[in-house]
């Protein structure tokens, strides 16, 4: 059901709810549904609640990532986006510890719901809506208010008379027909607009293909720990810890070598590790070979975690604000067709984020 959640809340975050609104809804759903799961009276009630939880979980990471990276400039966006995944791996490590000490499943569900409750009251009230979303919705004054707040928190100020504008506005010739088309694009902001543009349509299909295989490898390695002849809880924690250095390396290299080279390198590294691990698995048993096999699995997770992390940043930069959440939702729905396809995507290092489809077409085609 994560697929349905990514698509649904990806669209709602672009069209009506906004990034913060969508994040608020899914956080409430996660908290409430987690507690309802713990008190499920029978299997069918449990099944229904878990299906609904899958929908909410499909939207939470998407909305949070876009909200945290949209206000960041080109030179720092890779670092900001890459660093956000520390919390993902930390959560996995924490969950393995909770599962070890809270063996009764009802207690585990209650404990795992508390972070959503804490987030709702301790974090969300202090988070602003994305100024880019305000801008594409025509709410310029609210966008400027957020930008002034950001500038003030950084010890700076925005000069009087400075007003935010969409990327296509800077090249507008004042033609009335063009203005009407611009307004229509801003109002619509759906996947039909994406599919109607050659630039965004190609990027969407390639992005979905790359994300599909990356997720297949990432989750295949992560979930395979149950087949290793070692402690399940320790293996999950080790895999989570192995991802941390990968996120650090990715965050540093994203703004130095670019997105495309890193996308290719991390996936190739993970693939080679998996191949070596499969060869080792076929050899005679022994503690030494088990260590080598586990190490190959950890390195495979290391490489693909970096790729998965980087693809979030990359996908967010490939599409304009007006459809960013919806297109990233599609990439997550594909849930993730190989490293070779990464060669066909354009480089986005130090490039500005486009706000509209008309703007991205003019900037990329010209």
What's the pLDDT tens digit per position in 93-149? Answer: 899 999 999 889 999 999 999 999 999 999 999 999 999 889 888 888 898 999 999
Which pLDDT does position 110 carry in this prediction? 93
Which pLDDT does position 39 carry in this prediction? 94
Total-model pTM:
0.77
Which pLDDT does position 339 carry in this prediction? 40
Identify the DSSP state of 71: T
Which pLDDT does position 247 carry in this prediction? 83
Class of domain 2-127+190-356: mainly alpha
Task: Give the tens place of pLDDT for each residue, 225-281.
Answer: 656 566 778 878 887 887 788 888 888 888 888 888 888 888 889 888 888 877 775
64-73: b (≥16 Cβ within 10 Å) or e: bbbbbbbbee
Q: Which band of pLDDT confidence, cut at 50, 70 and 90, is reported for residue 350?
A: low
- Where in the chain are the domains? 2-127+190-356
Which pLDDT does position 22 carry in this prediction? 92
Round to whole Å and give the CA distance between 177 and 136. 18
Give me the chain's average pLDDT, please. Answer: 80
Q: How many CB atoms lie within 10 A of CB 14?
A: 28
Which pLDDT does position 169 carry in this prediction? 58
Task: Give the tens place of pLDDT for each residue, 173-226.
Answer: 444 444 444 444 444 567 888 888 888 888 888 888 888 878 777 777 766 665
Round to whole Å and give the CA distance between 8 and 3. 9
Mean pLDDT, residues 22-36 = 93
User: Could you tell me which residue, 41 or 286, shows the higher pLDDT?
Assistant: 41
Closest to 79 (Cα-Cα) out of 210, 247, 321: 247
Residue 294: partners with Cβ closer than 8 Å, 6 or more residues away: 228, 230, 235
Task: Give the tens place of pLDDT for each residue, 160-175.
Answer: 888 777 766 555 544 4
Round to whole Å and give the CA distance between 168 and 147. 20
Which pLDDT does position 285 carry in this prediction? 55
Reply yes or no on whether the pLDDT at 38 is more than 90: yes
Task: Give the tens place of pLDDT for each residue, 56-104.
Answer: 888 888 888 888 888 888 888 888 887 888 888 888 889 999 999 988 9
Residues 361, 193 contacting (CB under 8 angstroms): no
Which pLDDT does position 344 carry in this prediction? 62
Residues 131, 123 contacting (CB under 8 angstroms): no
138-155: b (≥16 Cβ within 10 Å) or e: ebeebbbebbeeeeeeee
């Amino acid at each position: 059901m994560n697929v349905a959640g990514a698509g649904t809340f990806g669209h709602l975050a672009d069209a009506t709810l906004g990034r913060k609104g969508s994040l608020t809804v899914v956080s409430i759903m996660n908290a409430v549904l987690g507690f309802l799961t713990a008190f499920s009276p029978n299997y069918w009630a449990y099944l229904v609640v878990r299906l609904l939880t899958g929908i909410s979980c499909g939207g939470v990471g998407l909305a949070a990532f876009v909200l945290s990276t949209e206000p960041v400039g080109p030179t720092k966006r890779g670092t900001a986006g890459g660093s956000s995944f520390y919390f993902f791996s930390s959560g996995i490590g924490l969950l393995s510890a909770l599962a070890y000490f809270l063996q009764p499943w009802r207690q585990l569900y209650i404990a795992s719901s508390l972070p959503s409750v804490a987030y709702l009251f301790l974090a969300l009230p202090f988070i602003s809506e994305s100024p880019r979303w305000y801008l594409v919705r025509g709410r310029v004054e609210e966008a400027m208010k957020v930008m002034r707040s950001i500038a003030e928190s950084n010890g700076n100020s925005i000069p009087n008379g400075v007003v935010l504008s969409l990327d296509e506005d800077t090249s507008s010739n004042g033609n009335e027909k063009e203005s009407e088309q611009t307004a229509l694009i801003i109002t619509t902001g759906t996947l039909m607009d994406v599919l109607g543009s050659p630039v965004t349509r190609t990027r969407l299909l390639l992005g979905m293909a790359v994300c599909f295989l990356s997720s297949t490898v990432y989750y295949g390695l992560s979930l395979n720990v149950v087949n290793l002849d070692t402690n399940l809880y320790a293996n999950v924690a080790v895999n989570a810890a192995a991802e941390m250095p990968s996120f650090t390396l990715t965050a540093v290299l994203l703004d130095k070598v670019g997105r495309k080279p890193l996308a290719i390198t991390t996936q190739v590294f993970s693939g080679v590790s998996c191949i070596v691990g499969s060869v080792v698995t076929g050899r005679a048993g022994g503690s030494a070979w088990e260590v080598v096999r586990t190490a190959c699995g950890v390195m495979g997770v290391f490489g693909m975690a970096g790729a998965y992390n980087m693809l979030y940043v990359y996908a967010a930069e490939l599409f304009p604000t007006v459809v960013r959440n919806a297109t990233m939702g599609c990439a997550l729905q594909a849930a993730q067709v190989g490293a070779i396809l990464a060669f066909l995507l354009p480089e986005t290092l130090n490039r500005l984020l486009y706000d509209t489809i008309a703007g991205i077409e003019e900037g990329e085609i010209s």
